[in-house]
Amino acid sequence: MTMVWNPRTLLVGAALLLPGGAIAETKSAGQLAYETHCVACHMVDSRWVGPSLVKMVETYPDGEVEAFLAWVKNPGKKDPKMIQMPAMSHLPEDVVTDIHNYVVQVTEGKVEKRGRHHFKGFKEPERKLPYVVRSFMPHSSPASILIKLPGDLNACWDTEACRFRYVWSDEKTINTSGRGEPKFGAPPQYRETAPSLWSFADGVKPQFKGYRLIEGYPEFDYAYGAIQIREKVVNGAEPGTVLRQFNLLGVTDGIVMDLTDEGVAMISADAGRLADGKLTLTREEAASFTLNISQP
């Protein structure tokens, strides 16, 4: 029998029986969604990357689900000492409502702890590839997204810097447990190293607007001033290849992408002129083009 994971699906039946007749703990839809989308940054009673759930429920108590929904779709920055939460507008409203219900329930009677607390890792539920999950990643901000692709390929996209970081294929390459600084066990096949990817980005802070899933593949939406960018990450036709499909709006002149990298992968583009690690595109070419990251 094939079982399809769904963030709103509860375990079949009221409980599962363990050997000896013991009853296994079941998880609510809200807890499952929290463990999938939120736990990398938010702990129940301890401040981590983001505020604790205890602190969160002070702002969005029971009955304030509409305000909670609005914040998740278009978050601002309440605490200047913390990174800004990326938009989670890809989540359906019923899933966000389930998360809010869980936040209210799990924090009842709890107070926020003080001092240093370690992130407790959790086991990812089985899911059909491709899928995305927020995770702690090396050489990237805490608000990073791990992209799991078919063909044993993984990619990191940084929502704080609004840019693609690297590609690797070994599942054991990165420690994302949250215990200590995550590190590479082996170098990735491809890692971008240029300080700035876009020629129009110097001195301009990017704005992350969220992402949507298209058949499981993420399409990121961000902007530099008046220039709107959509970047979709998918598998290429050949095994071991990753495609980055771009659509830019608001470009008024030619642009240059600095694709300086380290690793063994090869980079090609279906538009513009690629030389010495830099891709030069006319205004017309920048409207829609694709980068191909392939193994040698």
pLDDT tens profile 1-35: 333 334 343 333 334 444 454 444 688 999 988 88
Between 118-132, 170-184, 198-212, 244-258, the lowest mean confidence (pLDDT) is in 170-184
> What is the pLDDT, as a whole number, of residue 184?
67
The per-residue pLDDT for range 49-72, each reduced to its tens digit, is 788 999 999 999 999 999 999 888
Kindly list the distances between the CA atom of residue 155 and the CA atoms of 85, 95, 253, 281, in Å, as whole numbers in the listed order. Answer: 20, 25, 30, 25
Query: Lowest-pLDDT range, 126-135, 147-156, 233-242?
Result: 126-135
Predicted TM-score (pTM) of the model is 0.66
pLDDT at 149 exceeding the cut of 80: yes
pLDDT category at 170 given cuts 50, 70, 90 is low
User: Given a cut of 50, is residue 136 above it in pLDDT?
Assistant: yes
DSSP conformation letters of 104-167: HHHTTT-----S--PPPP-PPPP-PSSEEEEE--TTS-SSEEEEEETTTEEEEEETTTTEEEEE
Q: What is the mean pLDDT of the chain?
A: 82
> For residue range 31-52, what is the model confidence (pLDDT) as tens digits?
988 887 787 688 898 887 788 9
Q: Both tokens of residue 114?
A: 């003080």
- Which comes out higher in pLDDT, residue 169 or 121? 169
Query: Would you call the peptide bond into 130 cis, given omega within 30 degrees of 0 as the criterion?
Result: yes
Q: Coil, strand or helix: which one is 217? A: strand
Higher pLDDT, 81 or 287: 287
Query: Which pLDDT score is estimated for 39?
Result: 77
- The whole-angstrom distance between residue 123's C-alpha and the CA centroid of its chain comes to 17
- If one compares 261 and 126, the residue with the highest pLDDT of the two is 261
DSSP-based three-state secondary structure for 263: strand
For residue range 123-135, list pLDDT tens digits in order: 545 678 898 877 7
| Domain boundaries along the sequence of the chain | 131-294
Q: What is the pLDDT of residue 125?
A: 56
Between strands 23-24 and 153-158, the pairing is: unpaired
Span of 105-109, 206-210, 248-252 with lowest mean pLDDT? 206-210
Question: What is the arithmetic mean of pLDDT over 104-127?
Answer: 69
